[in-house]
Structure 1
Amino acid sequence: MLVNRFSNQAMHNTGLDRVQLRAGQIIQGKVLNLYPGQHATIQVGSQKWQAQLKAPLAKGGHYHFKVEQAGSPFILKVVGQALGKQPIQNIHALLDQLGFASSKQRTDFLADVIKSQIPFGKEQLAQAFGLLEAAGYRKEAQVAVKTMMADRLPFIDNILAAVQTKNTSTLSQEFQTLTQHLRQQRTQGTMGMLLNRMQWLMDARNPSPSEVIRQIIDGVSQNNPDFFQLLKTSGTIDPTLDFDTWKNEWSQFMKVHNWNQSTVNLLLNRTRLPFAINPEEMAASIKQLRENTIPQSVQDVIRSWEGVVKNVISQNTRLPNETFEELQQNLQQASTQLSLPQQNRLNSLLSNQPEGLQALQAYLEALVHQQKMISSPNLTIQERFLAHIDTTLSHIGLAHESLLARDTQEIEASIKSLLIQLVQQQDQTMSERAQPLLNLINGLQIDSVRETSFLVQAALQLPGEKIGLHEDILLEFNGRKRKNGTIDPSDCSILFHLNLAHLNETVIDMHIQKRTVALTIWNEQSVHPDLAESFKPALKAGLESLDYHLTHINFKQITDRSDRRPETGSSAQTFPETTYEGVDLRI
């Protein structure tokens, strides 16, 4: 994937890939210069250290060093002799010095670790060999173990499974696999809740409960009754309820509880909502409405009776019996083209009493306007994207352990908490089906944040179908760390990895420095510069509204695909030199 290369390049540019040495670790380096008192400048990759040596060495020589002291000064001890010109022989000698028996698998793996400039200790290497031998030295296991060594992760089976699954799968793939299995089961209780939550994150027609609340808040704030009418059509609120009453009740509730778009997920599971609404029921009903549009013939029947019913309501009287029977017959015939919940709702409202006719008229009006409301949701594209990020973060359970430590109620509804319940059940088949997704979520948690004293890298994966993409979207944020631990938004870079309908795999590198923005778009297809110019005015205006300033947009074509890899990237991977329109970029 293209994102592998750019992810590693972003880490290099920000300094997040710099080797952090610790006592007991082993590195391979070159002696650049020698100074009196057995001091020297040692180079490891692109980094240089001033170090004190435990024995005299030759300038220009390559050695394996063991870190005796990491600090000022670095104290290094040579392991074995100066390295020869045969790399494999050097690895055999190192394994012998460390007390390990040599094998082709061990030699090849350790050579790859050293080539990737990953420091390691003897105990760490022994644990890595143990995991790899149990895994049969599979390629995906080696990539995962290298990541574990580079990030100093615990060498346990659960971590290996998490990193390996994260490197080889996506949320959408695991959601789809588990969803297919759950649909074949009696999806009640934990399984039913898990199925609903995965569908909320995948299906664009299926809003999550938090998205329902967001659209309610948005409609109330903008005095827009469209979504309110859609809820009436779904049968989840009283069809006789008027918008003013709805708006006033919600406005008061939002004021008392300090509700807004950013606090939806935090308060959703803790607060009794106005009119005792059930957001989960609303989300399911809206999905069903969107799957069952109102046929034109049904709309024509409703409109043909609209004036008659309104006239009777205005006089607060009943229809003549023959007229009511004709209305009833027409609506029941038309309702056969509606969904079952819509049929049931319509039949329940067929009453020839003034209050019953009023409720019937309200529901019929809502049905007529349903298609318009479905195709014109309240939220803008930008709001939908931000809502999708917020919903994904809260529903997946990336903060599961943190919430568990605080003993909050929010963990009960997360996908991770439901998966843990399924894995712990006695049903071995269900446990095996749920484990891969749980491994992936654990892997995403492990990879979510990397940081040093001054720099931060954050990674996020989102299901793509919800926002109209064929595959998941990957986001990476790199930047300087502020005092509160967050990324400085005026000096950072954001990497978007997308799979678009026409451009296919695309990487967008957005570099921000002193609130000026430069965009580079990488793709395997040649993109004409005029395309960038057509989008530039709108993009420039949008950024300026946020006090950012666009400097340029560059399109770059990937011209060499010979080194593409199937794994999702990790900081431990290295790639051969690749050419991009004549520019050599070594990652």
Structure 2
Amino acid sequence: MAYTSFSSIQMQQNQSLNTQQPVALKQGQVFHGTIKQLFPDNQAEVQLGGHRFMAKLEVPMQAGNAHYFQVTGIEPDLQLKVVSGPINQTGTITQQINQLLDSMHLPKTSEMQQIAAYFLKENVPMSKEQLTQAEQLVKQLPAGVTMKDALHALQKIIDLKMPMQQDTFQALIQGGMKQGFTQTIDALRQLLQQDTSLSPAIRDQLLQQLQLLAKPFETETGGAILAKIIQSLTDANTSSTDKNILIQMLKEVGILPKNANIFNWSTTALQGPSVSHSNSIGHLLQQIQTATPKEATQLISQLQMAITNNADFTDSQRAELQQNLMKFNAAQSSQQALSTLVKELQGQLGKMRQMSITAPSTTQLLQSIQSVSQKDMPDFITQLKVSIESQSLLSASQKEILINTLGKFSLANNTPQSIQVLVKELQGQLMQAFSRIAEQQPFKTDEQNITAKQHLITLMNVSNSTTDDMTFRVLTQITSKSGEPFIQQLVSQAEQSVHNAIDSKALESAMKQTLHHLGLSYEAKLLDKTADMQQLAGQLKPQLLSLLQEPTASNATKAVAEQIVARMNGMQYLSGENGPQHQLIMQIPLEFFGRKTDATLQWNGRMKDNGKIDADYARILFYLQLNSLQETVVDMQVQSRVVTVTVYNENDQLKELAEPLKTALKKGLSSHDYQLSGVFMKKFAENQPVKTTLNAKTSKDVNGGVDFRI
């Protein structure tokens, strides 16, 4: 099947640019060229493909003749030696190839002839050593790799001035593939499960990372499951037996304490604030401001633990915050000193773009209400009302119910018992409200970027040592393994709710998470002094690199791990700059509720003088393998912010199906100051191949490398 290939898109975009660039020739390289014009002192104009350049010939030649030339020098002028007599242009390509191989004293094997034919056709200069190394590489092609893919990879190695080595060759082959990423990851998962030679720690860590790739919406599903559990526990029609099973599951995950039962589970929030929740930092700082020196010592210790366990901070940010906390001295502590410390920490957190701690969330305020003095209670109730009214997750009717509940509270008689009754009623109403939002709108966040499921965790006072995300993942895994029919139904309903709520922002988030978990930018992050090294080490790529050094791992496991690492490296090799042009290639293995696909993206554009991407001009190619539409390529071109979209697919009904979506696309583009020119549906057969053009420049660096942008 003929479709728009990544290489053809790149070649077409750079065609006008490439013809203006000189050819990169290095000592020892051989190429097929034609003498166009002779000048005194054996100087000649030589043509290589669409390029012409001046060179000095060792012996006088005749204009118009074609030869195989070898580069004998590049300083001060380009110097060429003829390695074959005049080539008969009417001769067959096989005759020309044989003449080349004879002149270079190379074997006429099938592989060598195919390599020489390809390089001759593409006008790629090559040395005898490169041809010999290339022959050895193509003789060891892995299963499923065609000679065409191998030849493209070999040309890329020469273009990038990279060594002709097996690892580089495999990386470029794997990086150029548009399918098979999810299958390779599945193969690794199966091998890890069967490889008993690996230590359990290494195997479990890798399997856990692969689980993150396979379940990009696992935390949202866990939030929806928690919401369904809360609804079941508060439903009078749920049997006591089923409620006990649900309570036991929440205990196992760590959401409820060990002493919880069907009668007291909802009152756990009254037992004290959680110290492990990521939002507890703001709550602890609020408490420190009014604490005694003895209380402050304990709160500072809890704050240190909260900062250590907060996955949002980098190592340097944690160190900066912990260093400030070291200033605290219990013996010399005063209210003014504590207030100053809190303000400094607030300033640091503000710079780190963490959650606003000067405006606690509704759930945080509810947790701290019992520690408010009677004198401060009126202001606190007003603050709680404002917080409820500004909570964007709550509907108007939900806000009205909560405000009415607050209205019942008597400021004149705010005893501990009355406050406890108020908190319990508000907590129940908030849990009902947030459980419905967590089920129906799992991806929605409020003004503080908090989701409904995170509010539920705060209300339920989770006090384990794991992060919120891990809590939801464990809940999803435990409930999914349950043999209870009503649990399976609950999980199915939660998954369907998340499935129905998936939108473009959810998909964007899933793709970003997948790229992060893969660790594609691992090497670049190592140079970043602010990067969290512990988080980096947990990504898939560094774990696979460690696995390849593990002596106990089986050869089969290592072979598949090498394929995955090669594919990731290949994406980096194929992404890079070419003068003002820039190319980025990404392959993302996606899995949504059991459906797997490889999404491949190639972006080609140009850079402005200030080094930033020019958003006015770009060409973006999406290659997708979809369940219903099968093979699909979306080719989007942007010229002066005018967008043209061409969709390649074999489905005859696609044009009719796409028609209602054009209005939404036009509106969405317009909101970002882009104009939609048109959307066109084509079959793959309608796509015409694009002629390849050599892209190179003169260089005197024989062992030169290339810079990669990751």
TM-score, structure 1 normalization? 0.68
CA contact (8 A) 1:172 1:471 kept: yes
Deviation at 1:11, TM superposition (A): 3.2
User: Separation in 2 of the partners of 1:107 and 1:412?
Assistant: 45
User: Separation in 1 of the partners of 2:613 and 2:568?
Assistant: 19
Match of 1:388 in 2: 510
Match of 1:506 in 2: 632
Unpaired stretches in structure 1, ≥5 consecutive residues:
220-224, 265-272, 294-334, 343-366, 560-578
User: Separation in 2 of the partners of 1:544 and 1:181?
Assistant: 49
Quickly say closer, same or farther: Cα 1:378–1:486, change in 2 above 3 A. farther
What's the % identity of the aligned pairs?
Answer: 24
Kindly indicate whether residue 174 of structure 2 is the aligned counterpart of residue 174 of structure 1: no
Deviation at 1:8, TM superposition (A): 2.0
Kindly indicate whether residue 201 of structure 2 is the aligned counterpart of residue 189 of structure 1: yes
User: Separation in 1 of the partners of 2:526 and 2:649?
Assistant: 42
CA contact (8 A) 1:236 1:281 kept: no
Q: Which residue, 541, 550, 558 being the options, matches 1:434?
A: 558
Quickly say closer, same or farther: Cα 1:507–1:171, change in 2 above 3 A. same
CA contact (8 A) 1:159 1:443 kept: no
Quickly say closer, same or farther: Cα 1:585–1:110, change in 2 above 3 A. closer
User: Separation in 1 of the partners of 2:158 and 2:645?
Assistant: 33
Deviation at 1:520, TM superposition (A): 1.0
- Aligned to 1:471, the other structure's residue is in SS state strand
CA contact (8 A) 1:205 1:290 kept: no
Match of 1:115 in 2: 121
Deviation at 1:460, TM superposition (A): 0.2
Amino acid at match of 1:14: N
Deviation at 1:458, TM superposition (A): 0.8
CA contact (8 A) 1:455 1:478 kept: yes
User: Separation in 1 of the partners of 2:543 and 2:155?
Assistant: 30
Deviation at 1:437, TM superposition (A): 3.1
CA contact (8 A) 1:227 1:377 kept: no
CA contact (8 A) 1:2 1:505 kept: no
Deviation at 1:21, TM superposition (A): 1.2
CA contact (8 A) 1:194 1:415 kept: yes
Q: Which residue, 521, 535, 543 being the options, matches 2:647?
A: 521
CA contact (8 A) 1:527 1:555 kept: no
Kindly indicate whether residue 477 of structure 2 is the aligned counterpart of residue 288 of structure 1: yes
Match of 1:29 in 2: 33
User: Separation in 2 of the partners of 1:483 and 1:444?
Assistant: 30
- Aligned to 2:5, the other structure's residue is in SS state helix
- Aligned to 1:509, the other structure's residue is in SS state strand
User: Separation in 1 of the partners of 2:174 and 2:354?
Assistant: 38
Quickly say closer, same or farther: Cα 1:97–1:336, change in 2 above 3 A. closer
User: Separation in 1 of the partners of 2:656 and 2:39?
Assistant: 58
- Cα deviation code 1:351-377 (max 9, x no counterpart): xxxxxxxxxxxxxxxx98994586147
Kindly indicate whether residue 423 of structure 2 is the aligned counterpart of residue 414 of structure 1: no
Kindly indicate whether residue 66 of structure 2 is the aligned counterpart of residue 62 of structure 1: yes
5 Å matches for 1:320-399?
Answer: 336-337=484-485, 371=493, 375-376=497-498, 380-399=502-521
Deviation at 1:65, TM superposition (A): 3.1
Deviation at 1:394, TM superposition (A): 2.0
Kindly indicate whether residue 212 of structure 2 is the aligned counterpart of residue 203 of structure 1: no
Match of 2:12 in 1: 12
Match of 2:164 in 1: 155
Deviation at 1:109, TM superposition (A): 1.9
Match of 1:48 in 2: 51
Deviation at 1:174, TM superposition (A): 0.9
Amino acid at match of 2:353: N
User: Separation in 2 of the partners of 1:48 and 1:525?
Assistant: 42
- Cα deviation code 1:231-272 (max 9, x no counterpart): 998544346349x997964777885542489x99xxxxxxxx
- Cα deviation code 1:18-67 (max 9, x no counterpart): 7851322333234455667766554444x322323415545544332334
CA contact (8 A) 1:62 1:83 kept: yes
Q: Whose relative contact order is higher, 1 or 2, with alpha carbons under 8 Å and at least 6 apart?
A: 2
Amino acid at match of 2:664: A
Quickly say closer, same or farther: Cα 1:584–1:101, change in 2 above 3 A. closer
- Aligned to 1:80, the other structure's residue is in SS state coil
State which drifts further: 190-199 or 388-397: 388-397
CA contact (8 A) 1:250 1:274 kept: no
- Cα deviation code 1:252-301 (max 9, x no counterpart): 7885542489x99xxxxxxxx995443563243243367379xxxxxxxx
Q: Which residue, 579, 584, 594 being the options, matches 1:453?
A: 579
Match of 1:128 in 2: 134
State which drifts further: 108-117 or 397-406: 397-406
**Bigger Cα Rg:** 2
Q: Which residue, 237, 243, 248 being the options, matches 2:255?
A: 237
Quickly say closer, same or farther: Cα 1:380–1:135, change in 2 above 3 A. closer
User: Separation in 1 of the partners of 2:594 and 2:607?
Assistant: 33
Kindly indicate whether residue 607 of structure 2 is the aligned counterpart of residue 481 of structure 1: yes
Unpaired stretches in structure 2, ≥5 consecutive residues:
232-245, 257-265, 284-309, 313-348, 356-444, 451-460, 693-710
CA contact (8 A) 1:508 1:520 kept: yes
Deviation at 1:472, TM superposition (A): 0.3
Deviation at 1:400, TM superposition (A): 2.6
- Aligned to 1:409, the other structure's residue is in SS state helix
State which drifts further: 514-523 or 409-418: 409-418
Quickly say closer, same or farther: Cα 1:532–1:165, change in 2 above 3 A. closer
User: Separation in 2 of the partners of 1:228 and 1:34?
Assistant: 86
| RMSD across aligned positions (CA) | 4.4
Match of 1:258 in 2: 353
5 Å matches for 1:548-567?
Answer: 548-559=674-685
Deviation at 1:527, TM superposition (A): 4.6
CA contact (8 A) 1:2 1:507 kept: no
Quickly say closer, same or farther: Cα 1:484–1:462, change in 2 above 3 A. farther
CA contact (8 A) 1:41 1:48 kept: no
Deviation at 1:125, TM superposition (A): 2.3
Match of 2:92 in 1: 86
Equivalent residues, number: 476
CA contact (8 A) 1:525 1:558 kept: no
User: Separation in 2 of the partners of 1:389 and 1:496?
Assistant: 14
Deviation at 1:552, TM superposition (A): 0.9
Deviation at 1:183, TM superposition (A): 2.8
Quickly say closer, same or farther: Cα 1:585–1:4, change in 2 above 3 A. closer
Quickly say closer, same or farther: Cα 1:228–1:66, change in 2 above 3 A. farther
Deviation at 1:494, TM superposition (A): 0.7
User: Separation in 2 of the partners of 1:468 and 1:64?
Assistant: 56
Quickly say closer, same or farther: Cα 1:545–1:395, change in 2 above 3 A. same
User: Separation in 1 of the partners of 2:579 and 2:689?
Assistant: 31
- Aligned to 2:117, the other structure's residue is in SS state helix
User: Separation in 2 of the partners of 1:60 and 1:385?
Assistant: 59
- Aligned to 2:95, the other structure's residue is in SS state helix
